[in-house]
Amino acid sequence: MSQVERQQWDVVVVGAGGAGLRAAIEAREQGARTAVICKSLFGKAHTVMAEGGIAASMGNVNSGDNWQVHFRDTLRGGKFLNQWRMAELHAREAPDRVWELETWGALFDRTKDGRISQRNFGGHEYPRLAHVGDRTGLELIRTLQQKIVALQQEDKREFGNYEARLKVFQECTVTRVLKDESASGDGRVTGAFCYERESGRFFVIEAPSVVLATGGIGKSFKVTSNSWEYTGDGHALALLAGAPLLNMEFVQFHPTGMVWPPSVKGILVTESVRGDGGVLRNSEGKRFMFDYIPDVFKEKYAESEAEGDRWYEDPDHNRRPPELLPRDEVARAINAEVKAGRGSPHGGVFLDVSTRMPAEVIRRRLPSMYHQFKELADVDITAEAMEVGPTCHYVMGGIAVESDTAAARGVPGLFAAGEVAGGMHGSNRLGGNSLSDLLVFGRRAGLYAARHAAAPDAARSVDEAQVDTAAAEALRPFSAEGPRDGTVPENPYTLHQELQQTMNDLVGIIRREGEMAEALERLADLRQRARRAGVEGHRQFNPGWHLALDLRNMLLVSECVARAALERTESRGGHTREDHPGMNRDWRRVNLLCRLAEPADDSPTAGRPDVRAEPAAGSAAPVGGLAAAEPARGRIALTRVTTDPIRPDLLALFDKEELVKYLAEEELFE
Ligand code: FAD
């Protein structure tokens, strides 16, 4: 019998980035007592790093913009694999979410006539990104935090307690979502098992609604722009709770990360550099992007440098330069130039803004980039070109959710929003569409989580045995043993490095069948070894222990990525197969769902029925059954499901000639 402390709340939000904070604000405003749990310090979430801006069709800089154009751009960027209803809600609601931020105190850059300024970004037809220099994420989080403090002050006045209805548990990690597993229960959520990073103390939050807002998975890759928190926790928590993940093969490699010096490899160089006029050149000085405009985008991009340059001043009569193609296209082009021997000295290409704008404009519009290069690489971007190359940046795949409610499919009471949720961005996300996504769907997740918690039959108590099992699982690294007598346990840091190398080398930007099969073998071995990952010392701030626990999540998520990538025999968005180079229209309607293939032997609910053969609830129907029957050496099974046909009034926003490039034959017929 455990002695783990319990607290009761209505809604627990896991994550305090943009999605989590927006969800918490909404849930609290709906009257739900809301707890926010975050692994880092409050205010330090990954969202803080967002630079370029929030995409919303306010039309402040070009009045031609509206939600329909934003919707079209988003579908084109995602190569029509987006969960279209999410893309519609996102495009319609994003402007309100930005204006709302302003009423809460956000200070955006302004146009000359005093409106919120909007900047150009790849794949967006009009200037659309509301921004604060190149530190937009910081202002977003600051504003949401300020709103949370205001709500807490309200509670102090009303109840004499700041935390009466909204409490933040910072530097705490959730390791399990707990559910009602009783014979009479329907597997609904009952709460979350957590530990304090500083003290190692365990605690349980009992709550009928759990919102996962844990962000992405980039720390499974060696070269990444992502922060230390991005270990795929929410993805894994959902899988372990029985919810499927959608289209995990789609991982965005941002075209411009720093490549030199090695200690900073992968750190992001914001797309605003290109949005504001920066150009890409190879070692021969050529603006090579003009050679890489794919057929589907030919009519929309400039054919010559002169036209591309004119577009910055006169976008109505010229087409945009190809440096502003969606990220997947630019990343592949850079990769190809480097491979062809036309790269920069340190294995990237050149991104030049110094010959395009006066120094003081660069320092004003791109202050973080100026300091980043000056301090980390001793490069003055007002006088010389940067060296850049692709870096793992964002995961389009994520928890399969209902579009309107953000409810995770198959687990009542579980919700997901932000980068951890799948579907919104299809096979490739447009820049700026994440910050708007997390505001739109953060709000929706908070709203529906509060409603779920208010239902009379909402589950309220956590089973003691599950708490004991979760505690034992979390403590296992302290008693891990080597494979044989006298051998030492595995080192979690070594395992993490091997995992990152495997994903980078074998499931990276360009993928091949043999390499992905090899990756799955290596992941299976790593998973076995990770069960023997051991740590020394005690539970008080022990980073080795924290990593040992995160490894479970990274390995699960990495297997999802590798298995889905092996299955999808086409190239689309953030999934490029050298052995299947083209986009195949027949794959347009196919989504791949990942589920746990076996009851987890380390699960707090051992013996749970295998969920892998069930079709996804909601809009999907099975077409191919199990694509990869229960894998011999892994934990993930794949199911193919078809998407709902896109609603006719939304399809009518596109020209027929364009649809022919994307939709499968039978869809066009329908
Ligand atoms: P996050 O902000 O990462 O928050 C995740 C939260 O979950 C954190 O609080 C973390 O501590 C917590 N957490 C994780 N696991 C656990 C656990 N097990 N237990 C408890 N808490 C946990 N997008 C744009 O739209 N525009 C941009 O300009 C832009 N610029 C970017 C620049 C950079 C350098 C990077 C890396 C990304 C950028 N993005 C941008 C992408 C965007 O920042 C992210 O996709 C977005 O911030 C994700 O927000 P989130 O709320 O989903 O997650």
* Tens digits of residue pLDDT in 258-274: 998 888 999 999 888 99
- Provide the whole-model pTM: 0.91
User: 440 and 93 in contact (C-beta within 8 Å)?
Assistant: yes
User: Each residue of 591-646: pLDDT tens digit?
Assistant: 999 999 865 444 444 332 222 333 333 333 333 333 444 455 789 999 999 988 99
Cα pseudo-dihedral 88, 93, 97, 102, rounded to 10: 120
Tell the residue nearest (CA) to atom 47 of ligand 1.
47
Q: What is the pLDDT of residue 598?
A: 63
Q: Is the pLDDT of residue 422 over 80?
A: yes
Residue 124 has pLDDT above 60, yes or no: yes
**Model pLDDT, residue 2:** 60
Please name which of 189, 186, 141, 188 lies closest in space to residue 168, comparing C-alpha atoms: 141
Q: Which residues are 35's β-sheet partners?
A: 12, 167
Alpha carbon distance 11, 16 (integer Å): 14
Q: Which of 229, 264, 401, 430 most suits a substitution to test ligand 1, by most atoms within 8 Å of the C-beta?
A: 229
Task: Decide if domain 253-392 falls under CATH 3.40.50.280.
Answer: no
- Model confidence over 509-529: pLDDT tens digits? 999 999 999 999 999 999 999
- Residue matched to tokens 């402390």: 5
Q: Which atom of ligand 1 is nearest to the CA of 18?
A: 51
Boundaries of every domain in the chain:
5-251+394-465, 253-392
Q: What is the pLDDT of residue 624?
A: 36
- pLDDT (tens digit per residue) in 559-592: 999 999 999 999 999 999 999 999 999 999 999 9
CA distance 558 to 220: 7
**Does the bond joining 261 to the residue before it have cis omega, within 30 degrees of 0?**
yes
Is 253-392 the same fold as 5-251+394-465? Answer: no
SS3 530: helix
Contact status, residue 328 vs residue 574, Cβ threshold 8 Å: yes
Average pLDDT over residues 271-291: 94
Residue 507 in this model has a pLDDT that exceeds 60: yes
Choose, from 327, 332, 409, 577, the residue flagged as catalytic. 327
Pocket probe for ligand 1: among 251, 265, 435, 473, the residue whose CB has the most ligand atoms within 8 Å is 435
Q: What percent of the chain has pLDDT over 90?
A: 82
Map residue 13 onto helix, strand or coil: strand
Mean residue pLDDT of the chain comes to 92
How far is the centre of ligand 1, averaged over its atoms, from the C-alpha of 47 (Å)?
4
CA of 135 relative to ligand 1 center, distance in Å: 14
HEC per residue, 556-574: HHHHHHHHHHHHCCCCECC
Give the span between the Cα atoms of 626 and 613, in whole angstroms. Answer: 7
What number is the average pLDDT over the span 441-458?
A: 95
**What residue ranges line ligand 1, CB within 6 angstroms?**
14-20, 37-40, 45-47, 49-53, 136-137, 173-174, 213-215, 225-226, 229, 233, 268, 394, 418-420, 431-435, 438
Among protein residues, the one whose CA lies closest to atom 5 of ligand 1: 214
* Ordered alpha helix ranges (H), 4-127: 18-29, 67-77, 84-103
Mean pLDDT of 5-25: 97
Nearest ligand 1 atom to alpha carbon 194: 19
- Catalytic annotation on 110? no
Distance CA 420, CA 235 (A): 6
Indicate the range of 6-20, 25-39, 120-134, 549-563 predicted with least confidence.
Answer: 120-134
For residue 550, which atom of ligand 1 is closest to its CA? Answer: 18
Q: What's residue 328's pLDDT?
A: 86
Amino acid at 275: G
d(CA 402, CA 413): 12
- As a whole number, mean pLDDT of residues 358-384 equals 94
Task: Count Cβ atoms below 10 Å from residue 600 Cβ, excluding itself.
Answer: 17
- Mapping DSSP to helix (H, G, I), strand (E, B) and coil, where does residue 441 land? helix
**Mean predicted confidence (pLDDT) in 644-659:** 94
Report how far ligand 1's centroid is from the alpha carbon of 419 (Å). Answer: 7
Prediction ipTM score:
0.99
Q: For residue 127, give every residue at least 6 positions away whose Cβ sits within 8 Å of its Cβ, in sequence order, or none.
A: 61, 62, 65, 118, 119, 120, 315
Closest ligand 1 atom, CA of 267?
A: 34
E-only strand ranges, 536-603: 590-596
CA of 340 to the centre of ligand 1 (A): 34
pLDDT for 417? 98
What's the fold here for domain 5-251+394-465? FAD/NAD(P)-binding domain (3.50.50)
**Ligand 1 atom at minimal distance to the Cα of residue 53:** 28
> Residue 652 pLDDT more than 90?
yes
Number of C-beta neighbours around residue 31 at 10 A: 12
